Amino acid sequence: MKKLFAVMLIPFFLSPFSVISTEKTPVLSNIDKYHLTADVVTESTYFENIPSNPNLYQETASYKDENLTVQDKILMPDKALKIIDLKVNAQSIPVFELSDGTYLEASHQSIYDDVILRQESINENYWLKDGFILYDTPYVLGSKTVRSDLVAYSQVTVSQHAVTEHGSYYKINGKGWISEEFLSKNDNRIEKVQKVLSQKYNKSDFSIFVKQLDTGLTAGINQDEKMYAASIAKLATLYYTQEQIQEANIKTTDSFKYIDAVNQFSKAYDPSGSGKMVKSADNKDYSVDNLLKEVAQHSDNVATNILGYYVANQYDKSFETEISSILGDSFDMKERQMSSKEAADLLEAIFYQNGQIINYLSETEFDNERISKDITVQVAHKIGDAYDYKHDVAIVYTNKPFILSIFTNNSSYQDITNIANDVYSILK
């Protein structure tokens, strides 16, 4: 019986049979496939999340379908871009779905998150450039412009520095944020001076030169145009005399006799012209200091002639060489041709000599006219008049002193005052 049962089981073990499985083949989504196949390069190329403030680097096409096959329109940078979803299409390319139902490749090459990248506290001073714009935040897409009472070429204090994809921005205390392209670390007011001169005084009858002494920056109109300098040329006599004092060739207490010859050499001024000294030789002795004061304060022709005769040796070659080196051009005391810039160069040279001459030029009988007429700070100036020429060159002692040299032809003292007032209003 047992043998029979065993025989009956043999066909069962020898016959084939199928195994029934309970597992199912998984169906992967496009996103799953993307994450399974993505490498480091791919992940750095595409966004993994929706940016908080999306913007475009350049013009970029959007598509009607997520597979990016049917182009819809061209999107422009710096325009609001509303993303509602991040998907992966059939080609395993991440795409953004926009609120209007179109699609955009979610690539870092075309899209960026327009946010503040870094920010720090600072405390620095800058000068505003023309054309600046203030924003309520460091500029990103969506920043709003703000109004203020700030004006170009004024100094401001900044308290914050921030960087965005658009550049560096600074926070002006209590006003707003401004791009660094509209800030100057250096005093830039001379640029405004140049604009005013160009707009109002660009005339052939004017030769104007302005120089800030601390920055060395300049502005001008026809500043190299030479005119008859008249008494402005006396600056050369003043400078040369001071130079001889500093080189110990003469002393301020030395005296020179007023003889006929001092008014008769070829390069002398007409003694009957400006000044308070007697017009004819009186054979009296006059100290160097007294003569300097007469030239500076009263533009005295006789005092100039005495110094020119004795100290400058009738304006010999040594004198001309010294003055020409300052002006950068040949100078002849007889011709007295000079530009407003050359006059400024001479006055600047006197300024750096740091002698008494500047004090004398600050208290002249001409202080109620031309450059100094309406200016309330110290003005050291030298005037010049002859024929239709009217000139004035001055150091204006604002917190940052500047030189203003104005040569005119067929103009008035008030024209000079108007120019001076315009320049002073900017540099005061």
For the segment 388-406, what is each residue's pLDDT rounded down to a tens digit? Answer: 999 999 999 999 999 999 9
Share of the chain above pLDDT 70, in %: 90
Percent of the chain with pLDDT over 90: 89
pLDDT, tens digit, 9 for 90 and up, residues 108-135: 999 999 999 999 999 999 999 999 999 9
Band the pLDDT of 30: cuts 50, 70, 90.
Answer: low
Give pLDDT, residue 71: 97
Determine how many CB atoms are found less than 10 A away from the CB of residue 119.
13
Q: Is the per-residue pLDDT at 274 higher than 80? A: yes
Dist CA 317 CA 319 (whole Å)? 5
pLDDT in tens, 143-168: 999 999 999 999 999 999 999 999 99
Confidence of residue 422 (pLDDT cuts 50, 70, 90): very high
The amino acid at 46: Y
Lowest-pLDDT range of 11-15, 44-48, 205-209, 347-351: 11-15
Give the list of residues 6+ apart from residue 287 with CB closer than 8 angstroms, or none: 252, 253, 254, 255
* Mean pLDDT across 74-86: 97
In 3D space, the residue among 65, 160, 154, 57 whose CA is nearest the CA of residue 104 turns out to be: 65
pLDDT of residue 31: 61
Least confident window among 12-21, 210-219, 408-417 = 12-21
Res. 44 pLDDT band, cuts 50 70 90: confident
73: left (phi over 0), alpha (psi -120 to 50) or beta: beta
Give the distance between the most distant pair of CA atoms in the chain.
Answer: 173
Residues 5-34 have a mean pLDDT of 49
Q: In whole angstroms, what separates CA 203 from the centre of its chain?
A: 25
Mean pLDDT of the chain: 93
Reported confidence tier of residue 383, pLDDT bands at 50, 70, 90: very high
Quick one: pLDDT at residue 7?
A: 38
Phi and psi, residue 81, nearest 5°? -130, 105
> Quick one: which of 138, 158, 135, 157 has its CA closest to 147?
135
* Confidence bin at 309 (pLDDT 50/70/90): very high
Look at the chain and count its residues: 428
CA distance 7 to 185: 108
Q: How far apart are CA 201 and CA 183, in angstroms?
A: 28
Question: Distance between the two ends of the chain, CA-based, in angstroms?
Answer: 131
Residue 14 has pLDDT above 50, yes or no: no
What residues have CB less than 8 Å from 375, skipping those under 6 apart?
396, 420, 421, 424
Residue 36 pLDDT more than 90?
A: no
Beta bridge partners of 12: none
